[in-house]
């Protein structure tokens, strides 16, 4: 079992290297296939032995072999996060179609998180096809009843749309983008509408705490924009591991 856990982490880290390409290129509408990985500074192709997840960054001390410019710590961080999540998902779900579906879903959330942090956008190229794809995956692989998954799409998008509409009417400014609405619709389709209780509660709580902390640190007022997508994504991943326990406690408590 230990060897399988090791390979699941390696698999995740390798995929994480590809996710870095997606995070970097998708906002600029560049191909994620060609050209091959290259230095963001000198644009020279990265040698295969300099493209080993996490290890190459440490060996090169965070610098490009050709131009000597610093490579962002973001690259090994994404690889490490993806590797760890692959390991945790494998431990929970084993070698199964559920593991594969949950891992692909999580990988998309990682891409969305870092693009939203960098550019304050959630690309439609991820969420629009993601809604039907993960709706079907939720139904046929994760075992979510079809009506709960469908309601999850409609309720997920509808709840945030309603909040955004009311907020804009009250404050005369946009407080939540359409990308967040589509993202929660995609999440609701994969897990079903019941999961939205946990996800909205956890993401709102974390968003409020971190948002207020950042406003204090940066000395900004309430107009300071904090992207909400990363909090939705983190809460969705958390639901995979702790959501069922939360729902059981909620039902027992009620």
Measured between its terminal Cα atoms, the distance across the chain in Å is 39
Q: Which two tokens stand for residue 247?
A: 């729902």
The rounded distance, in Å, linking the Cα atoms of 14 and 223 is 39
Q: What is the mean pLDDT of residues 110-116?
A: 97
More confident call, 28 vs 169: 28
Say if residues 202 and 184 touch (Cβ distance below 8 Å). no
Tell me how far apart the alpha carbons of residues 177 and 229 are, in angstroms, rounded to a whole number: 9
27 secondary structure, DSSP code: G
Tell me the pLDDT tens digit for each residue of 137-184.
Answer: 999 999 999 999 999 999 888 777 776 666 566 655 555 567 888 999
Select the more confidently predicted residue: 78 or 217: 78
CA distances from 136 to 44, 88, 133 (A): 40, 23, 5
- The token duo for 96 is 């199964």
Residue 107 has pLDDT above 90, yes or no: yes
Average of per-residue pLDDT values in the chain: 87
Provide the CA 45 distance to its chain's centre, in angstroms: 27
Distance CA 226, CA 133 (A): 28
**Percent with pLDDT over 90 in the chain:** 57
Distance from C-alpha of 181 to C-alpha of 44, rounded to nearest angstrom: 38
Residue 176 confidence (pLDDT): 58
Query: How many angstroms separate the Cα of 102 from the Cα of each of 92, 106, 107, 141, 184?
Result: 11, 6, 9, 9, 16
Q: Which residue has the tokens 């408590």?
A: 253
Q: Is the pLDDT higher at 140 or at 247? A: 140
* Residue range 209-221, pLDDT digits in tens: 887 777 777 666 5
- What φ, ψ does residue 201 adopt, rounded to 5°? -65, -50
> Could you give the residue ranges of the DSSP H alpha helices within 141-194?
146-171, 178-191
* Coil, strand or helix at 39: coil
Q: CA of 15: how far to CAs of 56, 128, 207, in Å? A: 15, 22, 28
Greater pLDDT, 243 or 177: 243
Q: Closest Cα to residue 163, out of 235, 241, 110, 228? A: 228
Region 60-76 average pLDDT: 87
**What does the pLDDT read at residue 2?**
85
Whether the CB-CB separation of 26 and 111 falls below 8 Å is answered with yes
pLDDT at 1 over 80: no
| Report field, pTM of the whole predicted structure over 0.85 | yes
> Confidence band (pLDDT; 50, 70, 90) for 22?
very high
Answer whether residue 11 shows pLDDT above 80: yes
Give me the helix-helix angle, 97-119 and 74-93, nearest 10°.
Answer: 150
């Amino acid at each position: 079992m230990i060897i399988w856990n090791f390979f699941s982490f390696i698999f995740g880290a390798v995929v994480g290297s590809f996710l870095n390409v997606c995070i970097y290129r998708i906002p600029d509408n560049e191909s994620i296939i060609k050209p091959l990985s290259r230095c963001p500074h000198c644009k020279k192709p990265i040698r295969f032995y300099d493209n080993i997840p996490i290890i190459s960054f440490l060996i090169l001390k965070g610098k490009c072999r050709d131009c000597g410019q610093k490579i962002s710590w973001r690259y090994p961080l994404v690889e490490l996060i993806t590797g760890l999540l692959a390991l945790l998902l494998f431990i929970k779900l084993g070698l199964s179609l559920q593991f594969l579906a949950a891992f692909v879903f999580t990988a998309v959330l990682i891409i969305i998180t870092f693009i939203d942090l960098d550019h304050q956008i959630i690309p439609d190229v991820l969420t629009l096809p993601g809604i039907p794809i993960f709706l079907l995956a939720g139904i046929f692989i994760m075992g979510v009843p079809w009506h709960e998954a469908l309601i999850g799409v409609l309720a997920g998008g509808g709840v945030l749309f309603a909040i955004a509409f009311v907020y804009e009417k009250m404050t005369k400014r946009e407080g939540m983008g359409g990308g967040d609405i589509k993202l929660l619709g995609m999440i609701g389709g994969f897990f079903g509408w019941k999961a939205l209780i946990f996800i909205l509660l956890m993401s709102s709580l974390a968003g409020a705490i971190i948002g207020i902390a950042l406003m204090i640190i940066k000395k900004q007022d309430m107009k300071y924009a904090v992207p909400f997508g990363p909090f939705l994504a983190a809460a969705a991943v958390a639901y995979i591991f702790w959501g069922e326990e939360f729902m059981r406690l909620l039902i027992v408590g009620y």
